[in-house]
Amino acid sequence: MNKNLPLSERERALKIIKILKSTYPRKNHVSGDPYKTLIRCIISQRNRDEVTDRVSEELFKRYPTIESIASASVEEMQNFLKSLKVGLWRSKGKWIVETSRIILKKYNGRVPDKFEELIKLPGIGRKCANIVLAYGFGIPAIPVDTHVYRISRRLGLAPWDASPEEVEERLKSLIPREEWIYVNHAMVDHGKSVCKPIKPRCWECPLRGLCPKIGVQDTSSQ
């Protein structure tokens, strides 16, 4: 399905991955706990990592098991999240409890390792489903979060008007399966430090020689 692409496109993608790897060396970490990965992913939506870390820790301290979360009422979970000052606490509280109940009852407490099943869970969309596959199970997947989305398009790896899903398919066609999980790691690291949404630090970017800077507004000064 992806054999008609010009070789140079894939070569460029490979070159990008190679440079990212030497800049942001990181082992593909598999959590070994898909359930915690999934809950963390719900909490992480539209949040900074520091918030996600803090809230996840408090959540699992108060509710150590899937059973304890599933048996909490939605309102109780919402109030708990609210007390921790997480944004979107109403949605997230509902999703965390309901998804946990479904996993417990329908899947006997085992998080499904199929995309089609994961995406049916409340609060689990494409990105979280792929996160669970990649980081919970170690199954090749490319979670397209805000960083992967932005950077892929700036690099011209996907059209500027592509949807997140289209970016995901495009990356999958360009990048060998063994590197899929790494893509998210690399672009998140790169996106937070250099290829930032506002005022990216293009002058110190290891990819500047390969980048058309699509959609980049301001590359000047600090």
Q: Which of 72, 131, 186, 194 binds DNA (CB under 7 A)?
A: 131
Write the interaction track for DNA spanning residues 132-171; mark x where CB under 7 A is met and - where it is not: ---x-------x-xxx--x---------------------
Residue 90 CA to chain centroid, in angstroms? 21
88 binds DNA (CB under 7 A): yes
Position among 188, 194, 205, 207 found at the interface with DNA (CB under 7 A):
188
Q: Which of 126, 140, 206, 213 binds DNA (CB under 7 A)?
A: 126
Joined tokens for residue 187 = 């672009």
The stretch among 7-15, 18-26, 47-55, 203-211 that binds DNA (CB under 7 A) is 47-55
Residue type, 194: V
Which one of residues 3, 7, 27, 48 is an interface residue with DNA (CB under 7 A)? 48
Residue 124 as a binder of DNA (CB under 7 A): the answer is yes
Would you say 211 is a known binding-site residue?
Answer: yes
What residues between 52 and 71 interact with DNA by CB under 7 A?
52
| H, E, C per residue of the chain | CCCCCCHHHHHHHHHHHHHHHHHCCCCCCCCCCHHHHHHHHHHHCCCCHHHHHHHHHHHHHHCCCHHHHHCCCHHHHHHHHHHCCCCCHHHHHHHHHHHHHHHHHHCCCCCCCCHHHHCCCCCCCHHHHHHHHHHHHCCCCCCCCHHHHHHHHHCCCCCCCCCHHHHHHHHHHHCCHHHHHHHHHHHHHHHHHCCCCCCCCHHHCCCCCCCCCCCCCCCCCC
110 binds DNA (CB under 7 A): no
Q: Which is nearer to DNA, 11 or 25 (CB)?
A: 25
> Which span sits near DNA by CB under 7 A: 6-14, 39-47, 63-71, 100-108?
39-47
Q: Which of 14, 17, 30, 51 is in the footprint of DNA by CB under 7 A?
A: 51
Q: In angstroms, what CA-CA distances link 38 with 60, 124, 132?
A: 13, 8, 6
Q: Which residues bind DNA (CB under 7 A)?
A: 41, 44-49, 51-52, 82, 85-91, 95, 121-129, 131, 135, 143, 145-147, 150, 184, 188, 191-192, 196-199
Q: Indicate the annotated binding residues for [4Fe-4S] cluster.
A: 195, 202, 205, 211
